[in-house]
Structure 1
Amino acid sequence: MARLAFGLLASALFLPTLSHAADILEPIPVVEPAPAFSGWYIRGDVGYVFKSKTDGHWAFYNQFPGVEGIDDYYRYDELRLDNAASFGGGVGYRFSDMFRVDATVDYFRSEVNGRTKCPLMIKTDPAHGLGPFDECDYGNESKADVWTLMANAYVDLPTFGIVTPYIGAGIGAAYVGYDDVKTQENCPTCKPGYVPYTSTSTGADDWRFASALMAGASVDLTQSLALDVGYKFTKIWEGDAWDYDAADKSFGAVGVQTKDNGFNVHTIRAGLRYSFF
């Protein structure tokens, strides 16, 4: 009888403890970690290039027999790239949550318009019938293809929900290829009967140094896809524009006659970045 009472007492004391221990030993839910990105991504962009203006210089070739050659160099007053659409793509790698790099190729084709004053020796030529302060200028019309190949680095700033602001910089090369240019002399006050000068010159092309600054934000659309919207400033250094016309070449002129002083290109763009797992 005493043993039975002792057993009942032990059961009463230890059953709650065992029950509590069983609760503690219940399986703990395992949270699966988010899949890790490989670091690699690809991107595609479209943009709008705003008008940009520059100047340059050009060589005056003297055709007078016996003294053929470059007489002097003159300032080219204004050269403009018109608004244009741009297209680009690239491959990148993310090293950390804050730092990534990519290599990009971008392209746009623009209308080109230029204007420069006639030099004093032209204005005072008797055929023009002008004084040194009368109006006379050359107008140019052409087109240009502009390619940029850049290596870029970005710093991603703290994320706000699904939005991540960023800043970046790039360095690389630009290819600028001009089409043939049509030149028209504008001389509203030239003497009656004067035939204004017209010509067509071959376009030049070359590779130049280029650099860029970027700022924008990305918006996460899915785990691997982001919308990238931003602004890009590209500095393209000086280079060749147009060769001499046929008349100058017939007197021995060779090489490039007109050079531009480079362009500051402002672009707003939007694109998609896809990150690989």
Structure 2
Amino acid sequence: MKRSLAGIFAALLMTSNALAADLAPVEPVPEMPPEVTVTETTGWYLRGDVGYGFTDLRGARYFQGSNDNEVDFTSADLRDSFTVGGGVGYQVNNYLRTDLTLDYLTKADFHGSTTGECGSPLEPCTSSDRSSLSAWNLMANAYVDLGTYGIFTPYAGAGIGGSYVKWNNLRNVACQDDGGGCDDEVTHKGKGNWRFSYALMAGTSIDVSCNVKADLGYRFLHVNGGSMFGYAENGGPGRDKGFNVHEVRAGARYLFGGCQEPVAYEPAPAIPLQQPVYK
């Protein structure tokens, strides 16, 4: 009897060991780190701007008398003006963007004076000269965004292009310095021409929404010199030496597709647990 029980117990023990050997171990599934997708803001945008420009005329010259003697205006001042414009651009990445802009410098009044002789007999006299100019500025620009701090993104930029400057007719009246009288008013036909220009910009963009950014900045615009007015009544033609515009600007940019949210976290696909294999 004891031998029978011992034999049964040994048989059960052998069977249990065999089943345990046939049971394959379950490998632990490693936890995958979350997948982070880094996206950049890119795409086309439209922009619009308005500004106030403090203009600085670099001087003006004209031919005096028989047109063989070019002299400077005694005084030449260009008054301030407004600008309005727009453009289309492309955001290359989070740090670089470019655009093509066209803006209009509204009428800036010119006040000047010259000295010479007038009247009969000839006496020393001073003329009062009045005109105005306006300009279209076509510029290709590039900007470097200097990082984003909250909703603010400061930037610096530069542009190059051309300006079509249109001078209105210049009217001048020469009066004797001793108060003896004035000559009749003389009108010189204004000139218009394209000129080389360049710009330097700095400012900050402000996030308004996912695809709208406000823009506050400063622009320095330099326009080369060119023709100013023609010949009339033994005087002229004249030319200006160019001018600078120190401009305070405000505007907005609309970025197409700017509301596409980047994928910040994407969980790894679920991997089914490995089932035990019995042999």
- Is the pair's TM-score, using the shorter chain for normalization, greater than 0.5? yes
Provide the residue aligned with 1:160 in structure 2: 149
SS across alignment from 1:155 = strand
1:273 paired with 2:256, answer no
State yes or no: 1:208 paired with 2:195: yes
What per-residue deviation string (whole Å, max 9, x for no partner) do you get for residues 36-66 of structure 1?
654211110011111423312101243xxxx
Judge conservation of contact 1:47–1:270 (CA < 8 Å) in 2: yes
Aligned pairs for 1:1-277 (under 5 A) are 37-62=41-66, 70-119=67-116, 122=117, 127-130=121-124, 136-191=125-180, 194-245=181-232, 247-248=233-234, 257-277=237-257
- For residue 159 of structure 1, what is the amino acid of its counterpart? T
* 1:126 to partner: Cα distance: 5.5
Go from structure 1 to structure 2 and tell me whether the alpha carbon gap of 1:96 and 1:205 turns closer, same or farther (over 3 Å shift): same
TM-score normalised according to structure 2 size: 0.75
The answer to whether the Cα contact below 8 Å between 1:115 and 1:137 also exists between their aligned partners in 2 is no
Q: Which residue of 2 aligns with 1:10?
A: none
Specify the code of the residue in structure 2 equivalent to 1:112.
Answer: D
Partner Cα distance (1:208, 1:37) in 2: 35
SS at match of 1:223: coil
Q: 1:160 to 1:186 in 2, by over 3 A?
A: farther
Higher fraction of helix: 1
Cα distance 1:195–1:30, how it changes in 2: closer, same or farther (>3 A)? closer
Equivalent position amino acid for 1:166 in 2:
Y
State whether residues 109 and 143 of structure 1, in contact with CA within 8 Å, keep that contact through their aligned partners in structure 2. no
Unpaired runs of 5+ residues, structure 1, are 4-17, 63-69, 131-135
Paired letter, 1:205: G
TM-score of the superposition, structure 1-length normalised? 0.75
2:57 and 2:242 in contact (8 A); partners too: no
- In structure 2, the partner of 1:65 is none
